[in-house]
A and B are shown apart, each in its own frame.
Chain A
Amino acid sequence: MSVVEHTMRKFLNDPADVVRESLAGLAAAHPDLVRYDAEAQILVRAGTPAQGKVALISGGGSGHEPLHGGFVGRGMLDAACPGEVFTSPVPDQMLAATKAVDGGAGVVHIVKNYTGDVMNFKLAAEDAADEGIAVESVLVDDDVAVEDSLYTAGRRGVGATVLLEKIAGAAAEQGRDVEAVAALARRVNGRSRSFGVALSSCTPPAAGKPIFDLPDGEIELGIGIHGEPGRRREATRTAHEIVEVMVEAVLSDLAPAENSRVLAFVNGMGGTPALELYLLYGEVDRQLRAAGLEPVRNLVGSYITSLEMAGASLTVLELDDDLVALWDAPVHTPALRWGV
């Protein structure tokens, strides 16, 4: 048996500063779009608060870049609250962000369904209410790998988060009111399902070694976005066969209407190149069409990641005219840009 030696191959100064230094770098690269408030540890859209516009805030552990900071800007988020790597941010961050972006039309918190995120956002919403700011919270829980039952913390929020932030952000930009934006966000979550596969683990900078060991020839099926092991470990197989597993898992749960138009989102986990992601998209496109669906929109790339993990997730969103129009609406953020 060979001894595997793990060395961390990362660009770092002090590992404890990785999040703050990265946020400062993002702001330095996009001063026209975002401002980094180092004291409050938040990224805020340039020009906020926009009076009369519903403000959208999201946040969560770091390590999922470009989520969420890369989605702050026109037509998407008004602020992002990054925690330490894979650790929920603290309520003070969400409260500071809420106060910074509140333009009098209401604030929507987009919360991925993880125990820590839910608790910290809940405390922040209570604090905001104490200060007279009404917050609508929207929970994202699209991961079909976790059964939603009394025996789990419920489904995780994964790929649908990106789609929801784009679509709800467009609706807020159009001037829809806070109830409408929140209802729309919940509709996107309700019509989305995701499933992820890992080909490798990943190494949190503070830990310095991979979260789990994945022997050659094995893959983790049903992973989340925190480097945690998946629901099961199986022998590796062809991309075609892996996509079959993903498509089956997603469609059997989503149960889209026949001939539905869908958005197919092939997301890289951080360590899988575009070469392979497009190969996967080709398989996804064929298999969705074979299942009687029409993939009229897509997103291919690494948008909600798990550090440098090799792997991918598939998210399918069942579309309607409103969702298509909102998806196509202009967006200008560090990580997503079209129509401008």
Chain B
Amino acid sequence: MQAQTIIRWLSEAEGQIKSQSDYLTQLDAAIGDGDHGTNMRRGFDAVGKALAGQGDTTPPGRLLTVAGKTLVATVGGASGPLWGSALRRAGRALGDVESFDGERLADALDAAVEGVIDLGAASPGDKTMVDALLPAARALREELGAGAPLDHAVRAAAEAARSGAEATVPMRARKGRASYLGERSIGHQDPGATSAAIILAALSAAVDSSRD
């Protein structure tokens, strides 16, 4: 994988977030304040514009850093700093290399999850994006360890993120604005975990198309 994979991933994420923006906002209205879709969409729109100015020769890690900084500067709320931190850590994990393999991608995803946990202090089960990201990072590592081809492994990671997001429904929120609702947060899918699953699905689509 090279810079093009990252560009495809973030462009795919931009499109997916845009098309599911209303759904995310709807989830957020139930247990937050109904703007998650709008905020993420604004951020990924800006990422698209920021990356359009980057040449094909930009190292993939650098692209992620630019995307992370853009999200911090445009999303606001908690999602801005959290995704900003995730992508910047992932970018740092990739370093200056021009191309990277599955193991390096798994390192980057691990670093991203660590960034989110360091900043947000959420644990698994708190009904946050960690509940989608952590299973995804584990699945990617396990699949690669078991010798799965890259596209299968990333698809498994995306699938784990999706299941992880769905598994937030019965959870009681312990972090973020949904935690103010206490028991009333139970029965709703977490919007942050859902957008994380969308972004992982976009990664899988980008890796698939990189193989074409």
In the complex, are the beta carbons of B180 and A119 less than 8 A apart?
no
Residues of A within 8 A of B82 (CB): 119
Query: Cα distance A87–B36 when bound, in Å?
Result: 9
A95-125, CB < 8 A from B: 114-116, 119-120, 122-123
In the complex, are the beta carbons of A114 and B177 less than 8 A apart?
yes
Q: Is B170 an interface residue (CB 8 A)?
A: no
Residues of B within 8 A of A150 (CB): 174
Residues of B within 8 A of A87 (CB): 35, 39, 76-77
**Contacts between chains A and B (CB distance < 8 A), count:** 106
Measuring CB to CB, which residues of chain A are less than 8 angstroms from any residue of chain B?
61, 83-92, 114-116, 119-120, 122-123, 145-147, 150-153, 156, 204, 206-207, 211-212, 224, 226-229, 231-232
Residues of B within 8 A of A224 (CB): 180
Residues of B within 8 A of A86 (CB): 33, 35
- A60 CB, min distance to chain B CBs, angstroms: 10
B26-78, CB < 8 A from A: 29, 32-35, 38-39, 42, 72-78
B70-122, CB < 8 A from A: 72-82, 119-120
**What 8 pairs between A and B have smallest CB-CB spacing?**
A116-B77, A119-B81, A116-B78, A152-B179, A115-B78, A87-B76, A226-B33, A86-B33
Interface string of B165-195 (1 = CB under 8 A from A): 0000000101111011110100000000000
| Known contacts A120-B76, A206-B35; A228/B180 CB under 8 A | yes
In the complex, are the beta carbons of B179 and A153 less than 8 A apart?
yes
In the complex, are the beta carbons of A151 and B174 less than 8 A apart?
yes
Contact of B72 among A123, A147, A156 (CB under 8 A): A123
Q: B-side binding surface: helix, strand, loop or mixed?
A: helix
Residues of B within 8 A of A229 (CB): 181, 184
Residues of A within 8 A of B119 (CB): 119
Measuring CB to CB, which residues of chain B are less than 8 angstroms from any residue of chain A?
25, 29, 32-35, 38-39, 42, 72-82, 119-120, 172, 174-177, 179-182, 184
Query: Cα distance A91–B73 when bound, in Å?
Result: 7
Query: Cα distance A228–B191 when bound, in Å?
Result: 15
Q: A-side binding surface: helix, strand, loop or mixed?
A: loop
Query: Cα distance A145–B179 when bound, in Å?
Result: 12
In the complex, are the beta carbons of A204 and B181 less than 8 A apart?
no
A sample of 13 more A-B contacts (CB under 8 A), given A151-B174, A224-B180, is A87-B77, A91-B81, A115-B176, A116-B79, A120-B81, A123-B72, A151-B182, A153-B180, A206-B35, A211-B29, A212-B29, A227-B34, A231-B184
In the complex, are the beta carbons of A84 and B39 less than 8 A apart?
yes
In the complex, are the beta carbons of B29 and A207 less than 8 A apart?
yes
In the complex, are the beta carbons of B35 and A231 less than 8 A apart?
no
- A265 CB, min distance to chain B CBs, angstroms: 21
- B146 CB, min distance to chain A CBs, angstroms: 36
Residues of B within 8 A of A123 (CB): 72, 81
| Known contacts A84-B39, A228-B177; A90/B34 CB under 8 A | no
In the complex, are the beta carbons of B76 and A146 less than 8 A apart?
no
| Known contacts A116-B81, A120-B80, A207-B25; A231/B33 CB under 8 A | no
Query: Cα distance A8–B174 when bound, in Å?
Result: 33
Query: Cα distance A170–B18 when bound, in Å?
Result: 46
| Known contacts A206-B38, A211-B33, A227-B33; A116/B181 CB under 8 A | no
Contact of A83 among B38, B72, B76, B180 (CB under 8 A): B76
In the complex, are the beta carbons of A90 and B75 less than 8 A apart?
yes
| In the complex, residue of chain A having the shortest beta-carbon distance to the beta carbon of B29 | A211
In the complex, are the beta carbons of A228 and B76 less than 8 A apart?
no
Of listed A61, A206, A232, residue having the most chain B CB within 10 A: A206
Query: Cα distance A152–B35 when bound, in Å?
Result: 20
